Structure 1
Amino acid sequence: MTRARSSLIDPGSTPYYHCMARCVRRAYLCGEDHLTGKSFEHRRQWVVDRLQALVSIFAVEVCAYAVMSNHYYVVLHINSRDVESWSRDEVLQRWTALFAGPVLVQRYMSRASLSSSELSRVDEYVDEYRLRLKSVSWFMRCLNEYLAREANKEDGCKGRFWEGRFKSQALLDEAALLTCMAYVDLNPIRAKLAPTPEQSDYTSIQKRIGKTAGAADIKQPSMLKAFQCQGQNPDEALPYILHDYLELVDWSGRVVRADKKGSIPEGAPPILTRLEIDSDEWLKTMSWNNRFYRAAGRLKAMKAYALNTGQQWLQGLHICSRLFKAC
């Protein structure tokens, strides 16, 4: 049953969301059309560039992304604390970098003299824009509308480019976030488009590895949310160590390929033990979208999310109870 986006994205339940958008019919986001021989590979960079531009404007951070041929995945974090600290001018500067805004806002930005009632109206706009700048829906809208316009302009056509707005899943705890980020980063490997994470073009894992390789002082790309080992305040960083995460993704990628013919190699990265994730269930969950729908997390978090969003049942409750052991 279709539900309103406002009931699915609840920052009070979790600031982390997994989103996916897919092209309609045979439209190509990227890749090569084997029927016509036309390549759309250059469009992959459109997605990355637009993500980087939006991250510099919104209070929404990118944790992971992967750009595929006719769809893309992105894991987002809502940074509510930052947006509340922005001044009136900063909010308006950020919003008007995307939209011109009403005449009154344009006058304020041009430093025209305004009456007290006009300033009050400007502040109402600021309150509205502040909410939008921490909205996953507005972030995804500004991403998808831009890509659709650019693709239609290049193709010389009009009409729908995406199947729908976008699909979203709430990631209710650290275990769900870790699982989903690894799933996203491993997409090109699972699709046999790349043999290793460092060769997975247009993914967050490749961007992190490229920045980390050979560096004495590890600095992650500015467009990606940082890991704890980068000297960040723990409250502002992803709840994992970068090297542990890279090791985990590499291990998961090897096992997913090997598991089709043989057994799971002995041993597991420490982070799996710390988060109490069952190894066998982890491997099955590399088919993420077939197991979860609206949300993912430990059983207690799933039940609380269902209650908060007015749902009596969520797909994946049994799977979550097996994958993520109760704390």
Structure 2
Amino acid sequence: MEKLLQLYDQTKVLASSKSIARCTISCISVLLTQFALVLVPLFFSSSPLFIQLTLSALILLIVLGSGGWCRRVLGFRASAPAFVFFTVLFVWGVYVAIVRKAISSVMDVVFNGEMIMLIIGLCRIMLKDPGFVAHESFCSDELDENLGFGVQTHNESCRLQMRVRYCKSCKTYIQGFDHHCAAFGNCIGQKNYVFFIVLLVGFITTEISYVVCSSQYASKFQVLKEIRMETGSNLVMAGSTLLFCVLQVLWQGLFLIWHVYCICFNIRTEEWVNWKKYPEFQLNASSLPGENSHEMRFKNPYNKGILRNVKEFLTLK
């Protein structure tokens, strides 16, 4: 019994050590990423915004590629949720240390409030149940990763369970599964889909607020850049984080538009990508009149019209 307890304690210590190591690697990765972005406003400050954004995107891709290489070759593995968390803290730290001095009191309260809510939201979505489903609750006795559940039944409750999908990352079944979000370390499903959209909007809003604040700082202290070296370095740091936030707004905005589309037509990302795996999305139609050959077409049995779809989304729980 004592040996089992010792083994259990050793396992817990090993797991804790791995978590600490991954968080440390994530923190180092954030610092490397952000300081690599400093090169753009440092050497290309006079270039157009589009050029600076393009260079910043290339730097981010190079850093991410290097991270993947380190993971495969050296075995260093970071934590994506920790990376997101430390990135938020880094941007907030730049705001408090540099940008804040040029911002009005009202805007300062608003931005700090947004950051606090963002961190609370991050912690909640990492821990929130996305809709885990026990095997015993399925209407069908057949458990197949590639098929929906209860396909042959016409019962309404079982029809809802048709949207139970398998997540390969979590190795479990999720009600209303949309996708596995590596950035949050959790699946997005029926029970946290609304919260996910709210948090995504929160990210975009906070990043836009930071872009506005850092732009105000740059316009206020640009004339002092040549006079004080300290002001010049601060401008470079504010500029690099501004470029980072603009890039985040661009891809997150597109991501939000995609999810708004999915909500309006009552379909999940995983269902759209892999609809050929699920019989309820398949419609067999003759390719030409008089021919026996058939082609598989897409149909959405869950689409009830935009208004009803949005109402159903808002009542998810």
TM-score (norm 2): 0.27
TM-score by length of 1: 0.26
